[in-house]
Structures are given as C-alpha cells and as structure tokens.
Structure 1
Amino acid sequence: MSHDQRLQALGLPPIDQIGFVVKDMDAWVARFDPVFGPFSFMDGSVAGAEFRGRTEDVQLRLGFGRSGDMEIELIEWQSGVSPHSEFIESGREGMHHLRFRVEDTDHWISELARLGYTPFWYKRWSSDTVFAYLECPGFPLYLELLQMPQAGAGAPGS
C-alpha cells in the first residue's frame, strides 16, 4: 500500500484547505483572484506556539479564497519563527500544506505517528481549539490538523 493510500485508510476527513506560503501577498492575490477570489484578509499572527521544541511567536498576513468547499490560503510571513519563516528562508515559495479539520488534534497526531508523521508546530488556544503541523520524511507537503468549532473557520494555525 502506498503512503497516500495508508494516509487515506486512517479515516481522516477530506482536505478542506490548501495553504501556500508567499513572499508577496498582493502579487499572488492578483494571480489567484480570478480563480479563487474574492479574497478576504486577516492578521494570522500566533504567539507562544511550540515550534521544534521552542516557544516562538510569528507575525503572518493571511488571505483566504475558495474553490467550492476548498479553502485556498495565502500566507505571507512577516516576522518571527514558524514553518512559514523556515519555508521562505530556505528559498521556497508556493504550496506548503494540506489542512484537515478534525475533532481531536491530539488523537490524530497519535494516529499519524504510525505513518511516520511528527508534529513540529503546535498551539492549544483553548479546550476546543488546537492546531498542529506535521511532517513526514519523503512527503513534500506538511499536514495541518485544525480542531475548532465550525463557527470559527479561518485561522488560527493557517
């Protein structure tokens, strides 16, 4: 069974967001708006998240578009330390992560560990709002798990 088939066999809900890390939000919105617009924007800064064993803050600008039920997220890193700063500082730009909305982030972290995924960015905002980014050697994108009541769609986490 392939890696993708094993991931699907775990029973995760459908992907609900594709995230892109970009250097210039306005340039990407100009390109993507005809397909995924109109975009809405928000401050996506996160204070006190666990990132690779340290507590870090990051300032992010977020843009959200749609294609049917799929959210398209553009993330412009501004300052601080996060997966987004790491991505930009490595000289990369573009598709970054796939997001799954889940009911229990910590449960899914354990399930995904069986496939070699490890969490490297994590924040518990409250008892019902948690996000985590996970990585797996050999898989080119990060996975984001977001546990949040539906009324609060959008960030945190991004």
Structure 2
Amino acid sequence: MSKEFANVESFDLDHTAVKAPYVRLAGKIEGTHDVVYKYDIRFCQPNESHMDMPGLHSIEHLMAGLIRNHLDDVIDIGPMGCQTGFYMTVLNNDSYDDVLAALEKTLEDVLEADEVPACNPKQCGWAANHSLEGAKDIASNMLKGKDEWSQVFADEH
C-alpha cells in the first residue's frame, strides 16, 4: 500500500471477516490534554447490503442530535461512504458500555421521531432526499441485533 494511505485504519480491516451489526473501537488519538476515540458502528454487512440513501440521510440527521442527549462529548457522527455504517468520534470517554447504551437509546428515539430535523433546503444540502420511514427501518434492524454489537468478527463466540 502506498505511504499516503498507510494510516487509514479501515483499509486494514478485513471487511470479509466482520459480522454486522457491531460496534467497535476503531481508533484512539491521544493529545496533550485530551483523547479522541473513534467508533465503527456497522449497521449492514459489508459488500452484501447497505442502507438506502434517503433512509441513511434521515437517520444521520436524527442521530446527529439525538446521540448527544445520551452521551457527552460526542464530536461527530457521520455515515461511511460505503453506506454500511457510521463513524462516531467521542472526546475523553473510553467507556464502550456508555457508547452501546447511548446508541441503543438513540435508536429507540429514532423509532419515536415524528419528523426529520433540518429537513429543508436552508439547513440541508439535499433536502428532497429523506425518508423517516427508512430511518426507522434502519434503526429497528440495528436494534434487533443489539445482543451481537460487541461481536465484530464472524469467528468470535
């Protein structure tokens, strides 16, 4: 692999060996005073399924605000380009259990939502491309697999 891509953690992950859904710590960056934790929140099995764009777009909007109600110091949560999951970065909180609990509560909040926030041309770059129903389907499917979230690889028991 060329040097300019040698530090991309996800390129070193064997996407054929993982078993979605899962949540894994994908990286940690230590600064002088703070530590940033990066989580791989995988909703769909890589190279087999993906989230449709309107549903993914809507669950992104919903989770961006709702996750912060359940977990302090969330820096960002954003979708993967492959449409199989999200990356979430958190400041100074290394509790995997806190992340799992916050994700579960957030997805339950998505199921209760009656609208997609910031779903208009002024606040969104593609406001016509949303689906609240799609977001709820994605959340529901992820919650069905919550007992498996800590199992990243298919050969783990």
Same structural fold, with TM-score higher than 0.5 when normalized by the shorter chain: no
- Which structure shows the higher strand fraction? 1
- Normalising by structure 1, we get a TM-score of 0.30
- Which structure shows the higher helix fraction? 2
- Normalising by structure 2, we get a TM-score of 0.30
Q: Which has the higher contact order (CA 8 A, sep 6+)?
A: 2
